[in-house]
Amino acid sequence: MIDKGYPPEYDNDHYDNTYFAEAFPDADSPAELYRQVYKYTDCGAYLSMTIEYMEVSGTCFDDYHEQIVQKTLHSDESRHLGTWKEMDERGQLIVSFTVGSIVEGVDGGTDNIEVEAKQLDETPSEYRSRFYAALLEIEIQAHSIWNETHGCETCAKHLGIDLTEEMSPVWTECPDCNGNGMVI
């Protein structure tokens, strides 16, 4: 073997979704990963994914073109992708996941945090760590938004807030909502 001065995997320009299968061994597909993200976060986070694939137009005899296309799919749309392996067979590659959350009762939500794949620069476990760090940040943001806006009547009274004028933060020692706030 000839020493080229860099790891041999750098010669592999064929990325595939095995990277994500290894990063998320309990999820056999993007849809299962989304299900887990939504189910196992307190805020019910959502998951979007950007895929890349080759789009071909024309025929081999007339105006043939190949173009790499990226498309973003959101949460439930992921069920149409199938398993990681089925995506590979169709030439569909995930290039990033984006996580975020809406907060019930307010006109906003958390930031959207995109976690791009760096298949040549990091291992699947390193990607998984970045992904879960982004998910934790979403949980923290959602919790903060909730606590700033979902105080109950007793929270508002204690904090001197008129609920007809503005939303109340949660009073952490509230005897009525136990410092958890309420659904608006």
| Tens digits of residue pLDDT in 65-114 | 788 899 999 988 999 999 999 999 999 999 999 999 999 888 889 999 99
Distance CA 61, CA 46 (A): 44
pLDDT at 163: 86
What separation in angstroms does the CA of 107 have from each of 61, 140, 150, 155, 173? 53, 18, 13, 21, 26
The whole-number average pLDDT for the span 162-184 is: 88
Asked if residue 165 and residue 117 are part of one domain, the reply reads: no
Asked if residue 34 and residue 76 are part of one domain, the reply reads: yes
Residues contacting 85, CB < 8 A, separation 6+ = 17, 21
Asked if residue 101 and residue 40 are part of one domain, the reply reads: yes
**Residue listed under structure tokens 């949460």:** 75
pLDDT at 13: 54
Asked if residue 172 and residue 127 are part of one domain, the reply reads: no
Asked if residue 133 and residue 156 are part of one domain, the reply reads: no
Helices (H), the chain: 18-23, 30-39, 84-90, 124-149, 153-159
HEC profile of 132-161: HHHHHHHHHHHHHHHHHHCCCHHHHHHHCC
Average pLDDT for the chain:
89
Range(s) of the domain holding residue 132 = 8-139
Q: What are the pLDDT digits (tens) for 11-47?
A: 455 578 999 999 999 999 999 999 999 999 999 999 9
Asked if residue 110 and residue 19 are part of one domain, the reply reads: yes
**Does residue 1 carry a pLDDT above 90?**
no
Distance CA 36, CA 29 (A): 11
The reported pTM is 0.83
Asked if residue 109 and residue 170 are part of one domain, the reply reads: no
Dig out the tokens for 33 from the structure: 């990963």
**CA neighbor of 133 nearest in space, from 106, 109, 97, 103:** 97
Distance CA 109, CA 112 (A): 9
Q: What are the pLDDT digits (tens) for 116-171?
A: 999 989 999 999 999 999 999 999 999 999 999 888 889 888 899 898 888 888 98
**CA neighbor of 145 nearest in space, from 170, 173, 172:** 170
Q: Where a domain ends, among 139, 159, 174?
A: 139
